Amino acid sequence: MATKTPSDVSKLVKDQGIKLVDFKFCDLLGTWQHFTTTLNEYSDDIFTDGLGFDGSSIRGWKVINASDMLVIPDSTTAWVDIFNAEPTLSLICTIVDPITREPYDRDPRGVAEKAEAYLQSTGIADTAFFGPEAEFFIFDDVRFDYTSNGSFHSVDSIEGIWNTAREEFPNLGYKIRHKEGYFPVAPTDTQQDIRNEMCLELEKAGVPIERQHHEVATAGQAEIDIRFAPLKVMGDWMMYYKYIIKNIAKRHNKTVTFMPKPLFGDNGSGMHTHQSLWKDGKPLFAGNGYAGLSEMALFYIGGIIKHARALTAICNPTTNSFKRLVPGFEAPVNFAYSARNRSAAIRIPTYSANPKAKRIEFRTPDPAANIYLACSAMLLAGLDGIQNRIDPGDPLDKNLYDLPPEELAKVPSAPDSLDGAIKALEADHDFLLKGDVFTTDFIENWIDLKKKEYDALRLRPHPYEFSMYYDV
C-alpha cells in the first residue's frame, strides 16, 4: 500500500465523503475483529493517542485484570471499505497497554513489529521479505452440525466431481475430476470472473497481484498470488486478502474457506511461503552456493529445518492442518531442501537468475495460520540458523515420496498431529524468545489454546469410527 500520513488520511476522509471509521485488529488465532465510530471520534490525534476498548473477550487474550487496551491505527493501511453501505474508512491497528504504552505481547501485529525490530538489531539484515501463496476453496454451500448423538458436514460446489448426476436443468457435464483442477479454462473453470473481481478489488485496496488461477482440487479450489512485501506489510495485506476474498464470494452468494483440508481424497490448501533477507536495498540470499544461494541463505535454511517441527504448531495451527500433512500425498512433510523438487519442504525457485529473485520457499505452512505469527516465527528460526551457522545438510534432489524407507528415515518430517506439533513447540521454543518477539507467557498461552483444540476433537466420536467399529 502507498504510504499515507495522518494528514493524507484526513484528506481522504474529506475527498471520499467518509462518514464512519472502522478500526480492525487481529485476534490471537488470526481473525480480524473491529469496532466502528462516527467522525465525531476521528482526528489526526488518534494515530498517536489511539482509542480505548475492552479486550477481555477477544480470543486468546482474556486478561480480565488488565483488559483496558488501546488500538493505535496505522495511517498507511487506510482503505475505503467497499463492503459497507455508508462510506467507511478502514484502518488496521496495533494494540498497546494504555498505561505503559508498550505493545501488548499477545497482539499478533505487535509480534510482527517486534520481529522486524529484532531483525534490524542483529545487523544481519534490515528487511525480511515474505510472499505467501495462500490457497482456498470457493464453495456454493456448506453445512455442518455436532450434537451429543450425531454429527455431519457437507460442502458443495457446482464444479464438484460428485455432481455429474445432479439435476441441473440441464447438467452440462463440465465437472472437475479429483486432482485435475490445475489451470483448466472455461467452461470447466467456472470461477474466472469471481477470481478476477477479487484481484481487482485487492489492487484497489493497495495489494499488488501477480496472478490468479484454479488450483488442483475439484470444487472451486483457487489461488491468488500477491507480490512479496516486508513482514508486517505482508501481514496486513494477507488480512485484507482474506477479508476481501470472503466478501467478494459472499457478494456472489458463495462462501470461501481457508481451512486446510475440507475435502477427503483431494488436495488440501497450503500456504507456500517465499522469504528472503535484504540489507541496504541489496538481496542477501544470492551467492555461489547450491542453486545460486549464499552461505547466509543456506544457514537460514538450516534454522528452518532445525526448528521446523516446532514451527508447525504456529504455521499449521489446527487439527485439520494435519489431514493435509500426510506423507506421500500432496503436502511436503519431509524437512529437506532442493532446487525445483516440490516434494521437499524447502524449495529454491529457479525461475530467474536475477539476484533479486533469489529466495527460499517453505512449503509446509497452510492458510489457517495467523500470518503475523507464522512469518515472525519463520524469520526467527532462519535468523537462529544464521547466528549459529546451522548446516542444513546436503540437498535432496530425488523425489522424496519415492525414497526407500531406510533413506527416508534419515530425513526429519512433520508431526502427524496437532498434539505432536504442540510437544515439539514445548521442547523447542527458545529461538522464539529472542528479542522478546514472543514471550514465555505468549508461548504458554498458545500451547494451552492448542491443547484445548486438540482435546475438543479427540474427545468426540467421529462419523467414520461408526463405519469402522460399530459392529465390533
Residues acting as catalytic residues: 54, 133, 135, 215, 223, 272, 342, 361, 363
The amino acid at residue 292 is G
Q: What CA–CA distance (Å, rounded) separates 90 from 233?
A: 15
**What is the C-alpha separation between 229 and 3, in angstroms, rounded?**
13
Cβ count within 10 A of residue 152: 10
Which three cell numbers, joined as nine digits, stand for 60?
A: 486468546
Compute CA distances 320 → 137, 187, 368, 453, whole Å.
Answer: 15, 32, 9, 10
The DSSP bridge partners found for residue 88 are: 20
- Whole-number Å distance between alpha carbons of 27 and 256: 20
- In terms of Cβ atoms closer than 10 Å to its own Cβ (0-12, 13-18, 19+), residue 368 is buried
The single-letter code of the amino acid at 10 is: S
Angstrom distance (rounded) from CA 134 to CA 143:
23
Q: What separation, in Å, do the N-terminal and C-terminal C-alpha atoms of the chain show?
A: 60
Q: Which residues contact 305 (CB under 8 A, 6 or more apart)?
A: 335, 336, 337, 345, 346, 385, 390, 392, 393, 412
Cα gap 18→10, rounded to integer Å: 10
Residue from 292, 315, 336 nearest 132 by CA:
315
CA atoms of 125 and 80, how far apart (whole Å)? 34
Please state, in angstroms and rounded to a whole number, the distance separating the CA atoms of residues 327 and 347. Answer: 17
Cell of 298: 543456506
The strand pairing partners of 134, in sequence order, are 271
Q: CA 159 to CA 389: how far, in whole Å? A: 49
Please tell me the distance from the alpha carbon of residue 29 to that of residue 108, in angstroms, as a whole number. Answer: 9
